Structure 1
Amino acid sequence: MTDVTDPVPNPHATAEQVQAAFGDPKLANVLYHDWEAGTYDEKWSISYDERCITYATDVFTAVAGEQDQPYPTAMELGSGTGFFLLNLMQGGLIKRGSVTDLSPGMVQVALRNAEKLGLDVDGRVADAERIPYPDNSFDLVIGHAVLHHIPDVRAALREVLRVLKPGGRFVFCGEPTKIGDTYARKLGQLTWWLTTKVTRLPALSAWRRPQEELDESSRAAALEAVVDLHTFDPADLERTALGAGAIDVRAVTEEFAAALAGWPIRTFEAAVPQEKLTLRWRLFAYKLWLQLSALDKKLLSKVVPRQLFYNVMITGVKPPAATEL
Structure 2
Amino acid sequence: MSSDPAPNPHATAEQVEAARSDPKLANVLYHDWEAGTYDEKWSISYDERCIDYALGRFRAAAPWDGRPYLRALELGSGTGFFLLNLMQAGVAERGVVTDLSPGMVDAATRNAQGLGLDVEGKVVDGEHIPFPDDSFDLVVGHAVLHHIPDVAAALREVHRVLEPGGRFVFAGEPTTVGDAYARRLGQWTWNATTTLTKLPALQGWRRPQQELDESSRAAALEACVDIHTFDPADLERTARAAGFDGVRASTEEFSAAMLGWPVRTFEAAVPPGRLGWNWAMFAYHGWQRLSWVDEHLLSKVVPRSWFYNALLTGTTPR
Q: Give, in angstroms, the shift of residue 303 of structure 1.
A: 1.4
Q: Give, in angstroms, the shift of residue 249 of structure 1.
A: 0.2
SS in 2 for 1:159: helix
Which residue number corresponds to residue 323 of structure 1? none
The answer as to whether partners of 2:66 and 2:90 remain within 8 angstroms in 1 is: no
Structure 2 gaps, min length 5? none
Q: Give, in angstroms, the shift of residue 5 of structure 1.
A: 1.2
Q: Deviations over 1:119-176 (max 9, x none)?
A: 0000110000000111100000000000000000000000001000011000000000
Which residue number corresponds to residue 269 of structure 1? 267
Letter in 2 for 1:91: A
Which residue number corresponds to residue 190 of structure 1? 188
Amino-acid identity (%): 71
Q: Give, in angstroms, the shift of residue 113 of structure 1.
A: 0.1
Count matched residues. Answer: 318
TM-score normalised by length of structure 2: 0.99
Which residue number corresponds to residue 302 of structure 1? 300
Q: Give, in angstroms, the shift of residue 301 of structure 1.
A: 1.2
Which residue number corresponds to residue 168 of structure 1? 166
Which residue number corresponds to residue 291 of structure 1? 289
The partner residue of 1:144 within 142, 145, 153 is 142
CA distance in 1, matches of 2:286, 2:173: 22
Letter in 2 for 1:250: R
The partner residue of 1:105 within 103, 106, 111 is 103
Q: Give, in angstroms, the shift of residue 14 of structure 1.
A: 2.7
CA distance in 1, matches of 2:12, 2:51: 37
CA distance in 2, matches of 1:14, 1:186: 27
The partner residue of 1:212 within 210, 213, 217 is 210
Structure 1 gaps, min length 5? 321-325
The partner residue of 1:26 within 24, 27, 31 is 24
SS in 2 for 1:276: coil
Q: Give, in angstroms, the shift of residue 297 of structure 1.
A: 1.1
Letter in 2 for 1:23: S
The partner residue of 1:158 within 156, 159, 175 is 156
CA distance in 2, matches of 1:53, 1:140: 18
Q: Give, in angstroms, the shift of residue 318 of structure 1.
A: 1.0
Task: List structure 1 runs of 4+ shifted beyond 4 angstroms.
Answer: none
Letter in 1 for 2:243: G
Alignment of structure 1 residues 13-92 onto 2, 5 Å: 13-67=11-65, 69-92=67-90
Q: CA RMSD in A?
A: 0.8
SS in 1 for 2:96: strand
Q: Give, in angstroms, the shift of residue 298 of structure 1.
A: 1.2
Which residue number corresponds to residue 221 of structure 1? 219
Instruction: Say which is worse superposed, 69-78 or 12-21, in terms of deviation.
Output: 12-21
Which residue number corresponds to residue 179 of structure 2? 181
Q: Give, in angstroms, the shift of residue 311 of structure 1.
A: 0.2
The answer as to whether partners of 2:143 and 2:170 remain within 8 angstroms in 1 is: yes
Letter in 2 for 1:276: R
Q: Give, in angstroms, the shift of residue 69 of structure 1.
A: 2.8
CA distance in 1, matches of 2:210, 2:148: 31
The answer as to whether partners of 2:174 and 2:310 remain within 8 angstroms in 1 is: yes
Q: Give, in angstroms, the shift of residue 16 of structure 1.
A: 2.3
CA distance in 2, matches of 1:203, 1:265: 22
Which residue number corresponds to residue 132 of structure 1? 130
Which residue number corresponds to residue 200 of structure 2? 202
Instruction: Say which is worse superposed, 189-198 or 16-25, in terms of deviation.
Output: 16-25
CA distance in 1, matches of 2:8, 2:209: 24
Q: Give, in angstroms, the shift of residue 15 of structure 1.
A: 2.7
Q: Give, in angstroms, the shift of residue 66 of structure 1.
A: 1.5
Q: Give, in angstroms, the shift of residue 13 of structure 1.
A: 2.1
CA distance in 2, matches of 1:308, 1:114: 35
SS in 1 for 2:219: helix
SS in 1 for 2:189: helix
Which residue number corresponds to residue 122 of structure 1? 120
TM-score normalised by length of structure 1: 0.97
SS in 2 for 1:229: coil
Q: Give, in angstroms, the shift of residue 68 of structure 1.
A: 6.7
Q: Give, in angstroms, the shift of residue 105 of structure 1.
A: 0.2
CA distance in 2, matches of 1:264, 1:20: 30
The answer as to whether partners of 2:146 and 2:229 remain within 8 angstroms in 1 is: yes
